[in-house]
Amino acid sequence: MAKNLVIVESPAKAKTLSKYLGRNYTVKASVGHVIDLPKSKLGVDIENDFAPEYTVIRGKSKVIAELKKAAKGKENIYLAPDPDREGEAIAWHIAHKLNGDKGTKIKRVLFNEITKKAVQEAIQHPTEIDQNRFEAQQTRRILDRLVGYQISPLLWDKVRRGLSAGRVQSVAVKIVCDREREIRAFQKKEYWSITAQLEGGSPPPFAARLLKIGDHKLDPEKLRIEDQASAQGIVEKLRERQFKVTKVDRKERRRFPTPPFITSRLQQEASRKLGYTPSRTMRIAQRLYEGIELGAEGPVGLITYMRTDSVRISPEAIEGVRAFIDERFGKDYVPPEPVAYKTKKGAQDAHEAIRPTSLERPPDSVQGFLSKEEIAVYSLIWNRFVASQMTPAVFDQTSVDIEAGDMMFRATGQIMKFDGFIRVYTEGVDDEKAADDDKDRKLPPLSENEVLKLLELQPEQHFTQPPPRYSQATLIKELEELGIGRPSTYASIMSTIISKEYVSEENKRLHATELGFLVSDLLTEAFPDLMNVEFTASMENTLDAIEEGKQPWLDALRSFYGPFSQDLAKAGQHMRDVKREGQPTDIECPKCKSPMVVKWGRAGEFLGCSAYPECKTTTNFKRDEDGSIVPVAEEAIDEVCEKCGSAMKMRFGRYGKFLGCTAYPECKNVRSLNRPVPTGVACPDCKEGEIFEKKSRGGKIFYSCGRYPDCRFATWERPVPDPCPLCAAPFVVEKTTKRLGTVRRCLSEGCEYKETVEEAEAV
């Protein structure tokens, strides 16, 4: 009989560890948290020093019973959840549930990577549960509960049911809204550039761009050629002038590799190069970390822990990758000394950067065992890590200044002399224009005072551009730079703000919705500290200080809750009652001439008469690019309401056009135009597509894979991107009925998870 018990989070990790530990160890999975705050109430005793009211998660009593049974008679129990705050909390709660057997030694073990060497070494050097790290997690959980469960009901009452607020998510929405306002307020300006095609004494011809007029450098925002007439006037002057080289600057430029991945950078690069959402990237990385079946070799953890903000690499890994580079590419690609990267201030340095666990498993050697998305992410991690320890790329860069009277042109070019790390990997860019700077451009041999031949002058019109909308990747980058959130939270923040309809995603860019603007403005006015970027970042620093043992956790909660409770009380009395008053507009009701107001219905925004209920006029509207409201003429629809027999009309909602009953609000029937709506959940069958909400010919909602007909996965129940608490399946499904309410269950064969979800839960 095994003398030792090891408890991990997931069944996949349990399977991998069992292979490495042998018959003297039993490995069990808790399948995530077993204890948490209750869903049905606040669960925090504010009057009693914020004491948390922990309860066993529904469906986890069976798991705890199995863990207790497995623990009986064991000499040692090793708690091995993930090496972060959430993992520490899981270990802490399990330890307290198993503490009945006083003779059993309960230890904590940490795996930065799941390899035989790392696992056995961790077991040989166990530690104690880190009380400070647990208290940091507990503080974060209580803070988020206080914010979510006390502000969300306020939004339900003032705006509409189902909304939520969050300590970090609400600030993320505000950042998107602020950018959207910048875009709407932006006034584009016309400007012109002038390019000269020139020829020297030696080929080839080359292009030079007008840089200065007199002593003033051209700039689209300050000094610019404003219109075509001005540009044409300059061109006419230049035709009569001599073009002469005044300066030739040749220098060697080195381009250095980027550091190995941290969590946020992996999410950004997977978005740029693979088109994956952060949540999808993290699901894939989790599988690579916990173990992939490699044929006869069994399950193997292919990457180190994927939630980290440190670029540190172990000396053994650096030594191994330098030897690999030497063998694969030659000595010229190995720097004289290992490349050292500096971890940003405030980062947690407990874990290494994300890297392969073994350089003996290059992507091509494991490709046959990995899915398409797994090999794509693994290749990114592999190539980035190898390139991070390679020599710089070397370019010969030339800059030539050319005088034409009082005007100065400049031509630049570069030639790669040595590819260095670029042979393996180059980082993607968010701005496509930036990529053009990397293209090789060769200039002919030129010398100072050389007179050039003018071949052509090309004036070109441009317009200044507003700041770009965030993508999920660039929003994560912004949050990271502002010090908001942590590696483990970014993916869930993106999913939440989209699923709550505060933000919509179009062509992979995030657009603030009017609901997002409304909620963000209401919260900013009522909770100025909570919505302040610096305040939110300081809270992250406070959590770090608790983890480092530098600050008592209760002091942090008391400091936060005093001002917050005062703001909460004021908001209950003074926050705008949008649900009842609507947003006023300057548009007149076509029937009674009263002002129309924007209201929020079940299917989105609409214009309603402010004289309701005396006047029940409603109409659709759209918003211009600057956000102004424009009524939309109703389209003639030859459809009748199947509920009351009234005519249906075309309306606009959060997913675009839909059909609504003209008898609204007496009849609130709506009908989709059958446009698929993304759910953010990956298909469990093909593991490549996303599940979409669709409507059958009979008007019934169902959910199916977006890769249909190649993949035929379908279900009548709504997928929810929460892992199953029993079997760790990546999502569960839910169905709402009048008799049972909202019930969640798992689709995995043999899994018995099923629970009723309380309506009061807030995210």
DSSP for residue 647? B
> Concatenated DSSP letters for 224-260?
-B-SHHHHHHHHHHHTTS-EEEEEEEEEEEEEPPPPP
| 3-class state of residue 155 by DSSP | helix
- Measured in degrees and rounded to the nearest 5, phi and psi for residue 307 equal -115, 100
DSSP for residue 84? S
Helix (H) or strand (E) holding 646: none
- Residue 111, C-beta contacts closer than 8 angstroms, at least 6 positions apart: 80, 83, 118, 119, 122, 305
Both tokens of 454, joined, read: 């003018």
Q: Is the dihedral of CA 698, 703, 706, 712 positive or negative?
A: negative
- Residue 279, C-beta contacts closer than 8 angstroms, at least 6 positions apart: 491, 492, 494, 495, 680, 721
Question: Quick one: CA torsion of 25, 31, 32, 36, rounded to 10 degrees?
Answer: -110
Query: Please, what is the Cα angle at 106 between 104 and 111, to 5 degrees?
Result: 145
Euclidean distance between CA atoms 503 and 494, whole angstroms: 9
Alpha helices in 125-168 (DSSP H): 131-158
Residue written as token pair 């009395």: 573
**Number of C-beta neighbours around residue 698 at 10 A:** 5
* Residue type at 326 in one-letter notation: D
SS3 content of the chain, % helix, strand, coil (to 5): 35, 25, 40
DSSP for residue 444? P
Both tokens of 427, joined, read: 């980082």
**Of 191, 289, 305, 490, which residue is the catalytic one?**
305
Any long-range contacts for 646-653 (C-beta under 8 Å, 24+ apart)?
650/620, 651/603, 651/604, 651/606, 651/620, 652/604, 652/605, 652/606, 652/620, 652/621, 652/622, 653/601, 653/603, 653/604, 653/605
Structural contact between residues 199 and 452, judged by C-beta atoms closer than 8 angstroms: yes
Beta-bridged to residue 463, according to DSSP, are 190
| 3-class state of residue 555 by DSSP | helix
Structural contact between residues 378 and 358, judged by C-beta atoms closer than 8 angstroms: no
Euclidean distance between CA atoms 475 and 662, whole angstroms: 40
> Concatenated DSSP letters for 12-53?
HHHHHHHHHH-TTEEEEE--S-SEE--SSS--EEGGGTTEE-
Answer yes or no: 305 catalytic.
Answer: yes
- Measured in degrees and rounded to the nearest 5, phi and psi for residue 11 equal -60, -35
Structural contact between residues 598 and 583, judged by C-beta atoms closer than 8 angstroms: yes
Residue written as token pair 């018959």: 23
Helix (H) or strand (E) holding 65: helix 61-71
Beta-bridged to residue 640, according to DSSP, are 647
Residues involved in catalysis: 305
